[in-house]
Structure 1
Amino acid sequence: MTTTDTQPKARTRSKYFVPLESDPDVFTELIHNLGLSHSLSFVDVLSLTDPDLLAFIPRPVLALILVFPDFGDYAAGYAKDQSAKPEYAGSGSGEDAVWYKQTIGNACGLYAILHAVSNGKARDHIGADSPMARLLAEVAPLTPLPRAHALESSAELEAIHHSAALQGQTEAPAADAEVDHHYVCFVRSHKNGHLYQMDGMLNGPMDLGEAGGGDDVMSESSLQVVRKFVETGEEGNVGFSLMALAESQD
């Protein structure tokens, strides 16, 4: 389980979910229950540099989800960077990448998944009239805060998340336990093809610009971004892991 401290914390949000374990099987079960094609799955990325290990990852990769220690430099650095930017208000046809503001505590894994499947080529794998199709149709026209409230009030989304959260290999902590890891998604826009860093704890999507590799999010330029996260961690790369969303080659 991606937590080392399960002490209850002071409640700062109106709603909390049981944290997801950073396990590809858990994440895969969740997207399948959302209605994504069973041809898609999450796999562990075991190295950011070894070409032999990278060769085992099915291509193209549709999204990357990085889990890392919730170190202070990350939050402080982006808080300063984003304080100078206007509050993000994208919605509907004016939004190059669908972004979800995180208002549910301990649900950063879920938000990373939603960012992964709401953008890029993964959208093509959403089943008609599936939970994800219905959710996306409801929230895509909304601005960030109404969109966030729609996620909070979705009983179907909460049930799907809760079922997956209980499937990990370790005992699930309480929903309002203190967790020490954070999830961020890297995904391409289905509109402009740019690579985006998607984190619901920031004040909007971060456009990282054009990235080579066609539809493959695991291009060298994308991997350089992830490597930078690992290199700037306070205690080396301990606690970092990476999952790729890709189509099965079976």
Structure 2
Amino acid sequence: MPAEGVYFSPGGVKTVIPLENNPDVFTSLIHDLGISPELGFYDVYSLDEPSLLAMIPRPALALIFITPAPMYYNVRAADGTRSSRNGVTYTGAGPEEPVTWFLQTIGNACGLYALIHAVANGEARGFVQKDSLIDRLLKEAEPLQWKERADVLYKSDELEEAHMKAARRGDTAAPPAEEHPGYHFIAFVKGKDGHLWELEGGSDGPVDRGLLAEEDDMLSDKALEAGVKRFIGFADGNLEFSIVALAKKE
């Protein structure tokens, strides 16, 4: 039985209440999923001001960039990035993948998929607690092709309940599930291959943004230029974006 507040669209797609863009909400959710309490999310208030960047523990293991839809589509058009709406051609599966990517099949769950992408990849993966919900989901999903992998998340009642619990937290009233927000949540992570990867459930697989130096984290100049600042360059005056960083608590 669906959790309270879950909505099924006229087309039968499971749709949830979107997460509030709030690092405390994000942190509570990843802990509920089974990520070590050593990790947490932090607001990124500036990409250039050293005193504000110094407030974030380093290394930054992942960034989640919340972008208005126009900025998102401008970058997609400029880069020629395929959307999953045009069909998924990505065939990656198994431990040889540099990153683990999930197609988003749950409506309004952009934030949930971004969180999963952030903790499932790179150094953050080492903070997944054994036999936790996220550990079980990743172990089941990773060997599978994209469609079956997406079904693992879609069919998980435990994941649905954890998401809905988090969606009711925060500082603002949760909107109904049938209300669609005009934002996209994108995770940036460092893959096993040392590359910067852009992970978003509406794309045709992960997007390779280039090789990073061994010492580069997600707030390094190179990672920011190839990732978040690439999007900001297409803002067209719309600065209604936000960024949170995943890092080990000090």
- Which TM-score applies when normalising by structure 2? 0.89
Kept in 2, the 8 Å contact 1:62–1:215? The answer is: no
SS in 1 for 2:46: coil
Alignment partners' CA distance in 1, 2:58 and 2:17:
31
- Structure 1 residues 12 and 49: CA distance shift in structure 2, 3 A: farther
Q: Which residue of 2 aligns with 1:137?
A: 139
Kept in 1, the 8 Å contact 2:101–2:201? The answer is: yes
Q: Which residue of 2 aligns with 1:73?
A: 74
- Identity percentage of aligned residues: 44
Q: How does 1:160-175 map to 2 (within 5 A)?
A: 160-175=162-177
Q: Which residue of 2 aligns with 1:28?
A: 27
- Which TM-score applies when normalising by structure 1? 0.89
- Give the total of aligned pairs: 239
Q: Which residue of 1 aligns with 2:190?
A: 188
- Alpha-carbon deviation of 1:20? 0.4
What are the Cα deviations for residues 122-144 of structure 1, in whole angstroms up to 9, with x where unaligned? Answer: 11001111111111111011111
Q: Which residue of 2 aligns with 1:156?
A: 158
Alignment partners' CA distance in 2, 1:113 and 1:133:
14
Q: Which residue of 2 aligns with 1:109?
A: 111
Alignment partners' CA distance in 2, 1:86 and 1:180:
23
SS in 2 for 1:116: helix
- Structure 1 residues 235 and 194: CA distance shift in structure 2, 3 A: same
- Alpha-carbon deviation of 1:93? 2.5
Alignment partners' CA distance in 2, 1:106 and 1:228:
24
Q: Which residue of 2 aligns with 1:4?
A: none
Kept in 1, the 8 Å contact 2:188–2:196? The answer is: yes
RMSD, aligned α-carbons? 2.1
Q: How does 1:28-67 map to 2 (within 5 A)?
A: 28-67=27-66
1:203 and 2:204 aligned? yes
Alignment partners' CA distance in 2, 1:228 and 1:11:
36
- Structure 1 residues 11 and 235: CA distance shift in structure 2, 3 A: farther
- Alpha-carbon deviation of 1:215? 5.8
